[in-house]
Structure 1
Amino acid sequence: MNYFVLIDGNAILHRAYHALPPLTAPDGSVVNAVYGFTSILMKLFHDLKPTHMAVAFDRPEPTFRKTLFKGYQGKRPEMDDALVSQIPKVQDMVRAFGIPIYEAAGYEADDVLGSIAAQIQTLNFKIKTERIDEIIIVTGDRDILQLVDDHVKVFMPIKGLSEGKLFGVQEVIEKMGVTPAQIPDLKALMGDASDNYPGIAGIGPKTAVDLIARYGSVEEMYGKVKGKRKKGKGEEGKRSAISFRLSAGIKEKLLKGEESARMSKDLATIRTDAPVDIEELRSVTTLDTPEAREKLSELHFPSLVKRLGNAKEETQEKREKKSEQLELV
């Protein structure tokens, strides 16, 4: 099978930085995130045996979400200078492996990944003449679980850098309580503290899951809750019976929070229209390039140089195997 691995660069970079102790290069610069990110990337290539890879990063410009809601991600602390300084080094390392980097002004890395996946699906899962059997998105951000379907899976680290889990549709339902496509609806009701958008005041995760299970979507829910009166024989009309199954308190919260819910759904929804060009994508047969060896040597990562050599010796039979449960480092 041919696998296309898409990596959420910012999410994995953050995880690597916070999971590993400080590490310095010969020039004294901090490189723990560079080491961790590179180690993860190499492990993914070893275990998933992808035919194609790409990495997406955020850009510094404000995104459309910030324009929509000024408080978006407003409570997040500033990124450590020691982490910021490593971003160019990580991107240089990715390019040295021959892996393309994607960014789009006004969009987050999530949207870029979603747009690449959508384009591949539009092209009937073909890149040029090569068939793609499955897309695997690597991230620590649960929002991306909304992209999971029969051809897209998400691989998430679940314990530092040592363990991860592959999420298909059923795993997402078990984790979130709703289908992948309903995750934006779920976030619309319960909000997201990490991204600092409100959802509906007083609606927690359990109630949100119950409401989405009942109505299917935010739009359908409000269509029922605000159901127009139906004229009957000899009566002025009555509201749709389903609206009466809500408690008065829940119904009041839903009606009062409608504007916030609709905005929160827009914020939670990963866009698939970011301007990305997948024409530059090409197959990745090895990470053992002269440029990669030079970069790893400059950073004084001899253990990673050794892993490059070991990876090159793999047989084609091993490259065709894939693990459902992976260790990243």
Structure 2
Amino acid sequence: MPTAVIAAENLVKAYKVKGKPDFVAVDGLSFDVAPGESFGLLGPNGAGKSTTMKMIGAVSTRTSGGLSILGLDPDQYGPEIRSRLGVVPQQDNLDGELNARENLYIYGRYFGLSSKACHEKADELLAFAALEDKAKSKVDALSGGMKRRLTIARGLINDPRILLLDEPTTGLDPQARHVLWDRLFRLKERGTTLVLTTHYMDEAEQLCDRLVVVDKGRIMAEGTPASLIREHSSREVLEVRFGSDRNQQVAGNLEGIGDRVEVLPDRVLIYTDSGERALERVVAGGLEPITSLVRRSSLEDVFLRLTGRSLIE
């Protein structure tokens, strides 16, 4: 096995709260990330994902536990680690007064690259981000998708060993998301290690070789997207609607049809190996749903089962 580029063991981050017990944002996380792997952190708001990313990025010290980034302790070797990382934050923090090319050039100078190297790297990254024709456009004139691609390009200016992406496609339309996915696939093919947080389960399935589901600072599950679906959900899901006033009433008659029945305000979910056979049993039992849908089980089903459906802010 190759040496892990990120290794966390019982990682804890707690914050002091005046007059109250410490708030534990990260509570004993342990995981490894291999070179060239695309690793995901999934969890609801407040789960500890961004806090973990800050510790990996060597901009926040840990309270306890072990953490090694590229073989170095981030609490002792922060500048050395940061010089070998690329970071794409949740919010684009590009300089709106500069054009796209200038944003890349100046950022490269921060890393100590020569003027010639910055010019060459800027041209290369504009091509990578499909922004050659926007090189002289001010950032404020770019679309959301273009800004996001430029932010990722900027994060690559120092040829990082690891690229950290915090919710990279939030707020983008489907077309822009797919263009961004294509660029991240290309980075994977080059051997760049990707570590990302995301709220989009389809994104995690597309991009992540392996991931952990985090809730309240703790790991709830870990594995490949496919293995997590196999372990925590069924092969298919049957969605049936009987009307919001009847779903709960009918649910009792659906028990035993599948592996598990879940009642939502607008529909009933039946987790089963065969959605079609489950639907046949529903109809044979004299129940006529208003609508029905058979789909494959997804990472979103796993996520919601492990972290719940309640909205937490």
TM-score between the two structures when normalised by the length of structure 2: 0.33
Between structures 1 and 2, the one with greater helix share: 1
Structure with larger RCO (C-alpha < 8 A, sep 6+)? 1
- Tell me which protein shows more strand as a share of its residues: 2
